Structure 1
Amino acid sequence: MVRLPLTAEQLAAGKRLGRQLRLARGDRTIAEVAQAAAISPETLRKIETGRLATPGFSTIAALARVLPMSLDDLAEICLARNDFQQTG
């Protein structure tokens, strides 16, 4: 099965998600948060930098559990669009 390329909107959502997760991580290191969420530091690094724009649900749920963010907050970030996209 071939995975289709991500759309510009999906890539933008991944960058928003990564930025917010990085802010939520605060002073904690990538290694600390990754260990607490039972994911690899490299996975978290890829999400935070937008290189992994569509992480799996279980990964996001694990991060929501260890960061001060709810799944609802994360969904809003991923579904949000900038003003140009909403009006255009």
Structure 2
Amino acid sequence: MVRLPLTVKDIRQGERLGALLRRARGGRSRLDVALEAGVSPETLRKIESGRVATPSFPTVAAIADVLGLSLDRIWAEIESDRLDSACALG
């Protein structure tokens, strides 16, 4: 399977996702959150830093569950770039 190159939108969404997860994690250790979500601490670090811009849905869902985030909130946060761009154009 060939992966398509990431778009600027993908990269921005990944950065927004990472920032949201870091904020939601707060003072909890990355290790504790990762283990509770069933992902490696390295995976969580890469997502939080934006190095993995398009993590799998089950990974995001597991981390969101541990952090008490709804998937709707995550989607709204990472899609806010689209809304910002549309407002700038409108």
What does 1:56-71 align with in structure 2 at a 5 Å threshold? 56-71=56-71
Distance in 1 between residues matched to 2:10 and 2:49, nearest whole Å: 14
Where in structure 2 are there 5+ consecutive unaligned residues? none
User: When the two structures are aligned, how many residues end up with a matched partner?
Assistant: 87
What TM-score, normalized by structure 1, do the two folds share? 0.92
1:40 offset after TM fit, Å? 0.3
1:35 match: 35
Runs of 4 or more consecutive aligned structure 1 residues displaced over 3 Å after TM superposition: none
Correspondence 1:13 to 2:25: no
Pick the structure with more helix per residue: 2
Secondary structure, in 3 states, of the residue corresponding to 1:77? helix
Higher mean Cα deviation, 6-15 or 70-79?
A: 70-79
Where in structure 1 are there 5+ consecutive unaligned residues? none
